[in-house]
């Protein structure tokens, strides 16, 4: 009989409750990773780069598990099916995994539980749910009130430490498909994640300038990029927290180091919101249950998905996402605002588009943020929107980010490029560029959506 560690968003060895419990059980361990879910509405939605990043993280974990002779079984099928195979081969005593509130993960866990003893642990968040100063079902809806309550009590548990012993090799061999893409802005996986954490704190001391640079779009170190590792679970949020705290001890704490944790808490917040609202959190009308009459227009959808809206900030960010699988927080906010408030397209199309391409895709953060910007989630402002022209001028004053992704705008007079949609058509056409006219008028499109939203 074997213990199974059912891997999901926890592709690491450090701070891993499921491996720790399996190690304590002292039976041979088989790790299982399944790329699909059994839920009837589940559809695989991922760009090749995103899939390759996850596979890369799995290869990294496999290398580490090889040291202990722990096999990693990879299946392009739901976990419940994979476990049946493991059971036939070895017999399953207990399955160990981590709890996730998202519907597909919950459904899969229920399915597994019907066939095998299943023990799920909490590890996705910085704060353990038992240490929250309220029941999860009573998580405050507003972030500020949530944060203030959490910060008053502030318990972050120590990292889980455990020993894995070297196993007798199993007769059955398992392999991972090769990764045929290696074009990542940061190498995925735990080994590179721990290096990135060390780099951003102790090595480069970028943590001490984070608050000043975090809104930047161009440079790798403007923000931490920990999301690329958190999404796969290659870094645990507690590992980040304790490293930042150690860094503060050595180099001093200030608003910059505080702000890294402040942002990490947003991630927790959306996870608790998902757990509080369950299926409503993922509902098309959002947690506010606000019905919006969305515009159905394939040409608009096509334009934004290819970065050809004629709004440079939006197009540059989409080009970056398609090429790298990453977009800055500033970019995401502007794109989501333009998508829903100017183009009037359903937020769920945007959510799915991000899901397909973002290497750091996290179901709760993505859904929660899309709903927030759309105005059907936790933000109570009636019709908040971003002026995507002013935002470009403010956060990319030298237009270097813009030119990186839209070199075709080089000929346009410096300092005016973000204003492309506000130029007179004759001025735009005089440049004779292969770049589109704006797809909508900025203010007129806002008025249309204000009416449709009822603001």
- Positions touching ligand FAD (CB under 6 A) are 214, 223-227, 230-231, 260, 263-264, 266-267, 270, 328-329, 332-333, 336, 354, 358, 360-362, 365-366, 369-370, 373
- CB of 334 vs ligand FAD, minimal distance in Å: 9
Q: Of 83 and 373, which CB lies nearer to ligand FAD in the complex structure?
A: 373
Residue 387, CA distances (Å) to 156, 312, 350, 445 in order: 38, 12, 18, 12
- CB of 455 vs ligand FAD, minimal distance in Å: 20
Q: Of 58 and 230, which CB lies nearer to ligand FAD in the complex structure?
A: 230
Strand partners, 29: 3
User: In the block, which residue shows the tokens 């059955």?
Assistant: 172
Q: Of 227 and 445, which CB lies nearer to ligand FAD in the complex structure?
A: 227
- CB of 349 vs ligand FAD, minimal distance in Å: 12
Q: Of 11 and 65, which CB lies nearer to ligand FAD in the complex structure?
A: 11
- CB of 268 vs ligand FAD, minimal distance in Å: 8
Q: Of 136 and 352, which CB lies nearer to ligand FAD in the complex structure?
A: 352
Residue 416, CA distances (Å) to 286, 392, 411, 454 in order: 38, 11, 11, 34
Query: Distance (Å, rounded) from C-alpha 52 to C-alpha 46?
Result: 10
Q: How far is CA 49 from the centre of its chain?
A: 15
Q: Of 384 and 422, which CB lies nearer to ligand FAD in the complex structure?
A: 384
Q: Of 7 and 264, which CB lies nearer to ligand FAD in the complex structure?
A: 264
Secondary element (H or E) of residue 81: helix 79-90
As to burial, measured by CB atoms within 10 angstroms (0-12 exposed, 13-18 middle, 19+ buried), residue 137 is exposed
- CB of 49 vs ligand FAD, minimal distance in Å: 15
- DSSP code at position 125: S
- CB of 121 vs ligand FAD, minimal distance in Å: 20
Question: 444 CB contacts (<8 Å, ≥6 apart)?
Answer: none
- CB of 239 vs ligand FAD, minimal distance in Å: 13
Q: Are 14 and 190 in contact (CB under 8 A)?
A: yes
Q: Of 19 and 386, which CB lies nearer to ligand FAD in the complex structure?
A: 386
- DSSP code at position 72: E
As to burial, measured by CB atoms within 10 angstroms (0-12 exposed, 13-18 middle, 19+ buried), residue 154 is exposed
Query: Distance (Å, rounded) from C-alpha 182 to C-alpha 428?
Result: 39
Residue 249, CA distances (Å) to 252, 254, 262, 273 in order: 6, 11, 18, 32
- CB of 53 vs ligand FAD, minimal distance in Å: 13
Q: Of 356 and 404, which CB lies nearer to ligand FAD in the complex structure?
A: 356
User: In the block, which residue shows the tokens 């102790």?
Assistant: 202
- CB of 230 vs ligand FAD, minimal distance in Å: 5
Nearest by Cα to 439 from 294, 301, 296? 301
């Amino acid at each position: 009989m074997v213990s199974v560690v059912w891997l999901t968003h926890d592709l690491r060895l450090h701070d891993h409750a499921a491996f720790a419990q399996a190690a304590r059980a002292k039976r041979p361990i088989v790790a299982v990773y399944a790329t699909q879910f059994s839920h009837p509405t589940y559809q695989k939605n991922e760009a090749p780069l995103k899939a390759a990043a996850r596979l890369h993280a799995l290869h990294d974990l496999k290398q580490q598990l090889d040291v202990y002779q722990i096999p990693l079984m990879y299946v392009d099928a739901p976990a419940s099916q994979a476990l049946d195979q493991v059971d036939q081969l070895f017999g399953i005593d207990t399955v160990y995994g981590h709890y996730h509130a998202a519907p597909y993960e919950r459904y899969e866990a229920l399915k597994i539980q019907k066939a095998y003893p299943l023990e799920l642990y909490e590890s996705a968040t910085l704060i353990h749910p038992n240490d929250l100063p309220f029941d999860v079902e009573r998580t405050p809806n507003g972030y500020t009130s949530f944060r203030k309550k959490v910060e008053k009590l502030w318990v972050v548990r120590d990292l889980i430490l455990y020993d894995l012993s070297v196993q007798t090799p199993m007769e059955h061999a398992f392999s991972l498909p090769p990764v045929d893409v290696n074009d990542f802005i940061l190498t995925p996986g735990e080994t590179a994640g721990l290096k990135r954490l060390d780099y951003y704190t102790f090595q480069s001391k970028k943590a001490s300038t984070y608050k000043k640079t975090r809104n930047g779009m161009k440079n790798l170190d403007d923000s931490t990029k920990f999301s690329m590792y958190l999404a796969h679970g290659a870094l645990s949020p507690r590992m980040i927290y304790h490293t930042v705290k150690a860094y503060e001890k050595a180099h001093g704490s200030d608003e910059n180091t505080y702000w890294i944790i402040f942002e990490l808490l947003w991630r927790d917040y959306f996870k608790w919101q998902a757990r509080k609202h369950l299926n409503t959190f993922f509902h098309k009308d959002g947690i506010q249950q606000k019905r919006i009459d969305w515009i159905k227009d394939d040409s608009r959808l096509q334009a934004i998905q290819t970065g050809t809206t004629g709004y440079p900030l939006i197009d540059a960010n989409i080009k970056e996402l398609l090429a790298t699988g990453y977009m800055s927080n500033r970019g995401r906010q502007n794109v989501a605002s333009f998508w829903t408030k100017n183009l009037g397209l359903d937020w769920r199309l945007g959510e799915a588009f991000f899901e397909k391409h973002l290497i750091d895709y996290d179901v709760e953060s993505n859904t929660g943020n899309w709903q927030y910007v759309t105005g059907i989630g936790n933000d109570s402002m009636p019709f908040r929107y971003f002026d995507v022209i002013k935002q470009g001028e403010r956060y990319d004053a030298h237009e270097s980010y813009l030119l990186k992704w839209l070199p075709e705008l080089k000929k346009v007079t410096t300092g005016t490029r973000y204003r492309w949609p506000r130029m007179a058509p004759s001025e735009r056409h005089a440049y004779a560029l292969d770049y589109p006219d704006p797809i909508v008028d900025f203010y007129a499109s806002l008025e249309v959506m204000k009416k449709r939203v009822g603001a």
